[in-house]
Amino acid sequence: LWDEARHAMMGEVGFASVEIDWPKQVMVNFTWSLGLNTQLKPFERHAVLYFIEQGLMPRNGKRFEWEVGQASGNPLSALFQDYDWADEVLHAKFGRDWYLSQFNDPKTAIQYGDRAWSRVLMGWAQWRAEGLTQHRNWWPDTYREACKHWGVELDPEVLSYSTTYEEVRADLKTISASA
């Protein structure tokens, strides 16, 4: 939970540093932590985190995010991405040292984490119906405000971003069913 709070704080500081009034637009929710901590056993939680960490290690993962931060010309973005990459590498090491040792081979460990992650997200529609989250797409309004503030033209492709986790996980894998 602390790790996710730290990620959220980096986002908050990033928005504030470029004078974006993020509290007006961005809704912080806890549904990921709620699902992880109420639907899975501790070992399954570690399995999900190991699976996610392995997905962040290829060249198009954290390294790419760091390269984008460097190319942005924003020193704070570059610093945050550097820190985040190192943080995720450390998590991946913990997973290899502890979690992976519980399996006969890495492929089985990855598959177990993949299956556990799919179970976490199955309550998305129910949480929305119960009022625990709106899962409103805050991106278009925030992006419009940023472009107006910076005096730059909107990019229609960037503006159209609208991926939710109702049917797709963060790794873009389709979810088969919802609770």
Q: Which two tokens stand for residue 153?
A: 């033209």
Question: Total structural domains in the chain?
Answer: 1
- In a domain? residue 104: yes
- Residue 123's identity, in one-letter code, is G
Residues β-bridged to residue 168: 174
Q: What is the DSSP string of 52-64?
A: HHHHHSSIIIIIH
CA–CA dist 138, 158 (Å, integer): 13
Q: Where are the alpha helices (DSSP H) in 18-155?
A: 22-25, 31-39, 42-56, 64-71, 75-94, 106-120, 124-129, 139-150
- The mean pLDDT value of the chain amounts to 85
Q: Does residue 50 surpass a pLDDT of 80?
A: yes
- In a domain? residue 99: yes
- In a domain? residue 171: no
CA–CA dist 22, 14 (Å, integer): 10
> According to the model, what pLDDT value does residue 178 have?
43
- In a domain? residue 59: yes
- In a domain? residue 167: no
Per residue in 22-41, is it b (16+ CB within 10 Å) or e — as a string?
beebbeeeebeeebbeebbe
Element housing 16 (H / E): helix 2-17
Overall average pLDDT of the 131-158 stretch:
88
Q: What is the pTM of this model?
A: 0.77
Q: For the chain, what percent of residues have pLDDT higher than 90? A: 34
- In a domain? residue 38: yes
pLDDT category, 33, cuts 50, 70, 90? Answer: confident
> According to the model, what pLDDT value does residue 53 have?
85
Q: Does residue 179 surpass a pLDDT of 70?
A: no
> According to the model, what pLDDT value does residue 138 have?
86
- In a domain? residue 164: no
Q: Which two tokens stand for residue 169?
A: 């996980």
- In a domain? residue 168: no
> According to the model, what pLDDT value does residue 75 have?
94
Domain membership of residue 63 as a residue range: 2-159
Q: Indicate the DSSP class of residue 135.
A: -
> According to the model, what pLDDT value does residue 1 have?
62
Question: Between 19 and 136, whose confidence is greater?
Answer: 19
